[in-house]
Structure 1
């Protein structure tokens, strides 16, 4: 394993130094192994590991390429790990959401275009007259993803999307068991949207904090 780690580190250094750039094709396996002083087996294991975390893209019959290295691609690996969360860590995910989402919402109030704001309103109006809890939660996820994307920060957006999954069941549970939860969610969404449309970042931040903290506090008391 130590030899594979060393191979991973050497390829990583080639990318960090700019010797290999996004979209570049790696040299042939035999040439690269000789150049790095590695066995071909070690190099193969390193390439396989870096492909799993979306740093490299192995194209059968074509070669191995450095990916775009965009945040959403690299952080996709975190989403995979996050899926292994236990129920007793959901509160911790909500705590992190309470830190990140209000910041993203404030940024969205400054960066979202008028067209983006209109699209946000369309998401809100897309809820059926008598929605199920699952439909409301799906709409809630779209709403928050759109705001995160509107923050203008791709890393922040990817982090928030990665953290959304583990809290989905808690949102559904709240909608099924807490009286008035669904109406409250819709009211808070409207307030967040209005603050973004009015270009009031601190008001948007405050409403987003109230919104996420409401789920967190409900779950804390329920547990």
Structure 2
């Protein structure tokens, strides 16, 4: 018995393509169609579901945008590896199009990044702790070079997500980090700002070394609060919030 034998005909409605996608997503979620499997042809799906090929094609297009399906060279649609970073990619795009207040962004970062830091304290490996120590040294060494500091800062925050061992939260955190980059870049050029960030990184890593989840969460929350304040200072007298975050 193949996966198509489990399909039931659906009515043709204005949302027929969505129903096709939902039916296929159900088969994937249940394990009847696995990551990497080739999907039946558009014609086979259309016959099984009693819809037109354009309806199937539209459903597959939507699933492709979601990162669930991909077209490979030589033809045919396949289920992707379904890894979180692929499935969460649309989130970054959606967030970049929306109007959010800076306050809501930093509130979200406090919750997500703080939670990740707490998880990192529980799950961080010895090798990761060594790299964290190196990144703290880099932070102190590059407080006079904003570009170099920002490069290391990206790795620092990504390593927090990796150490937390929660791929979904990690991807959300990376999406939030990418917002308001221009404003944070300007803030990083204010004297003293990077010195504070270096100390913040040091405090976070100290909590990770101690495997103290509460201290790690608190240290990350303090770090985000400092970033929020300096970013708002840069915007003082400029564009009022809420504004479009870019």
In 2, distance between residues paired with 1:211 and 1:130? Answer: 16
In 2, distance between residues paired with 1:172 and 1:2? Answer: 44
In 1, distance between residues paired with 2:73 and 2:96? Answer: 29
1:22 aligns with 2:35: yes
* Structure 2 unaligned spans of 5+: 1-13, 241-246
| 8 A Cα contact 2:143 2:149, kept in partner | no
Structure 2 partner of 1:52: 65
- Per the TM alignment, residue 103 of structure 1 is displaced from its structure 2 partner at its CA by 1.1
Structure 2 partner of 1:144: 157
Q: Whose helix fraction is larger, Structure 1's or Structure 2's?
A: 1
Q: Tell me the alpha carbon deviations over residues 124-161 of structure 1, each in whole angstroms, 9 at most, x when there is no partner.
A: 33355464323222222211110111001111111101
State the TM-score, normalizing by the size of structure 2.
0.83
Distance change (3 Å), C-alpha of 1:129 and 1:20 = closer
| 8 A Cα contact 2:138 2:149, kept in partner | no
| 8 A Cα contact 1:137 1:171, kept in partner | no
In 1, distance between residues paired with 2:219 and 2:134? Answer: 19
Structure 1 partner of 2:208: 196
| 8 A Cα contact 1:26 1:63, kept in partner | yes
Structure 2 partner of 1:105: 117
SS in 2 for 1:69: coil
Q: Paired residue for 2:183, among 162, 166, 170? A: 170
State the TM-score, normalizing by the size of structure 1.
0.90
**Which has more radius of gyration?**
2
* Structure 1 unaligned spans of 5+: none
Over aligned residues, Cα RMSD in angstroms?
1.9
